[in-house]
């Protein structure tokens, strides 16, 4: 019977060469380069979906309030819950959150640019990103339709 010995020449240890290690590092780098943009797109879609969902939830609460009371609630400051909006009908914690999913703060606008609208002020998202949100909600144009940009705020218009 033959004894099994290492294939390495005498005095050398078996292991990976520098070239083999470099090839593995390059392959891992290429995989990471492909994965990072995909993760960024998924994150962007998540923020967009969250914003649209919150906007629709708030719109439903305000429309319900108007149907029950015959008018819209009074104007309120940024992140301030409008008068008459109860926590039973309205997601107060989401409204008061320091930053919404586009980096801004929620604001109820009554007779400011529109008769009634839900705005986000101080958004850190780009106009291009907000245009993609507008395409989900409306017409994809921030200067027309139900979702518009007014100076520094993006407003979902409930009543023009």
Residue 4 lies in a domain: no
- Cβ(131)–Cβ(140) under 8 Å? yes
The pLDDT, as a whole number, for residue 7 is 59
Task: Report, as ranges of residue numbers, the positions in the chain whose pLDDT lies below 50.
Answer: none
Find, among 120, 111, 121, 107, the residue nearest to 71 by Cα. 111
Give the strands of the sheet with 153-159, arranged side by side: 105-112, 114-121, 153-159, 147-150
Using alpha carbons, select from 140, 149, 132 the residue that is nearest to residue 48: 132
Tally the domains of the chain.
1
Q: Is residue 6 part of a domain?
A: no
- Note whether residue 1 is domain-resident: no
Q: Phi, psi at residue 157, to the nearest 5°?
A: -90, 120
Q: Is 8 contained in some domain?
A: no
pLDDT for 88: 73
Q: Are the beta carbons of 110 and 116 closer than 8 angstroms?
A: yes
**Within a domain: residue 3?**
no
pLDDT at 4: 54
Query: What domain range is 103 assigned to?
Result: 18-159
Residue 13 lies in a domain: no
Residue 129: HSE in the Cβ half-sphere, 13 Å Cα cutoff: 18
Q: Which residues contact 109 (CB under 8 A, 6 or more apart)?
A: 75, 116, 117, 118, 119, 153, 155
Q: Is 47 helix (H, G, I), strand (E, B) or coil?
A: helix
Domain assignment present for residue 152? The answer is yes
H or E element that contains 36: helix 18-69
In a domain, 24, yes or no: yes
What pLDDT is recorded for position 1?
53
pLDDT for the residue numbered 22 = 95
């Amino acid at each position: 019977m033959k004894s099994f010995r290492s294939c390495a020449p005498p005095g050398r240890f078996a292991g990976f060469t520098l070239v083999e290690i470099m090839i593995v590092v390059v392959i891992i780098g290429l995989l990471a380069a492909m994965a990072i943009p995909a993760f960024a797109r998924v994150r962007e879609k998540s923020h967009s979906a969250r914003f649209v969902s919150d906007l629709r939830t708030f719109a439903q609460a305000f429309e319900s309030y108007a149907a029950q009371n015959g008018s819209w609630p009074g104007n309120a400051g940024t992140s301030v819950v409008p008068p008459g909006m109860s926590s039973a009908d309205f997601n107060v914690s989401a409204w008061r959150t320091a930053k919404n999913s586009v980096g801004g703060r929620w604001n109820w606008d009554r007779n400011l640019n529109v008769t009634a609208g839900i705005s986000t002020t101080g958004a850190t998202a780009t106009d291009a990103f907000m245009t993609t949100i507008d395409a989900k909600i409306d017409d994809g144009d921030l200067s027309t339709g139900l979702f518009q940009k007014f100076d520094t705020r993006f407003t979902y218009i409930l009543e023009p």
